Amino acid sequence: MATADQNYAGVWDSRLGFGKKSAIIVIDLLKGYTTEGSPLFAPGVVECVSQMPDFLSLARQKNVPIIHTQVRYTPPDFHDGGMWIKKAPVLKDLVEGNPYAEFCDGVEPQADEVVITKQYASAFFGTSLVATLNGMDVDTLIITGCTTSGCIRATAVDCVQHGFRPICVRECIGDRHDGPHEANLFDINAKYGDVISKAETMEYLNGL
């Protein structure tokens, strides 16, 4: 039986590449995902966060726009979470004032960087992200953050459906378990965008 790579070769393996102008999105790098004992704790996100500081530093040196997302809900009824929070009640920790909802150390937004608050998986759904990217004349979205099987995948799918080029940076994306992480990176790379290494992305940034 052919491997997945062999089965997809020549059918689902084209690349979009970078366009004329890129922005970086840092999705939900919140302490709930990196704090042991938190229900949201995801070891892959710990590694992802460790890969981010030098990446963000280079992007800032090159004046690449950086957009951050955070999840926030309104207790006690969590109506703004709709069906999503009924399906995933673990997300109820992501409320104002809960330490798990704070940005991870080393990846906090700078004062001049856009922060988008979202309630659902995709950074596009119910937010101003499309208008923000259009206003900056961006055609390529470099995607980082967590989690691969949730908000990363949903954002990559919506990204291409809104006419932008999704570029996912492998080492700068994390999840709870390697299985869903690798499966979703495979699917994103096959059908929705490009999954490339941090080194290749840094090379692109250095060339700007």
Per-residue pLDDT at 60 exceeds 90? yes
pTM: 0.96
Per-residue pLDDT at 172 exceeds 90? yes
Per-residue pLDDT at 4 exceeds 90? no
Q: What is the DSSP string of 51-101?
A: HHHHHHHHHHHTT--EEEEEE-B-TTT-GGGHHHHHH-GGGGG-BTT-GGG
Read off the pLDDT of residues 30-49 as tens digits, 9 standing for 90 and up.
999 999 999 999 999 999 99
Give dist(CA 10, CA 2) in Å, integer. 14
pLDDT at 1: 78
Q: Which of 48, 104, 151, 168 is catalytic?
A: 151
Give dist(CA 173, CA 28) in Å, integer. 11
81-97 average pLDDT score: 97
89-94 average pLDDT score: 97
pLDDT at 200: 98
User: Is residue 146 annotated as a catalytic residue, yes or no?
Assistant: no
The one-character DSSP state at 115 is E
pLDDT confidence bin for 13, thresholds 50/70/90: confident
pLDDT at 195: 98
For 76, phi then psi, to 5°, come to -90, -10
Q: Which domains does the chain have, with CATH numbers?
A: 20-206 (3.40.50.850)
Give dist(CA 53, CA 57) in Å, integer. 6
Per-residue pLDDT at 161 exceeds 90? yes
pLDDT confidence bin for 194, thresholds 50/70/90: very high
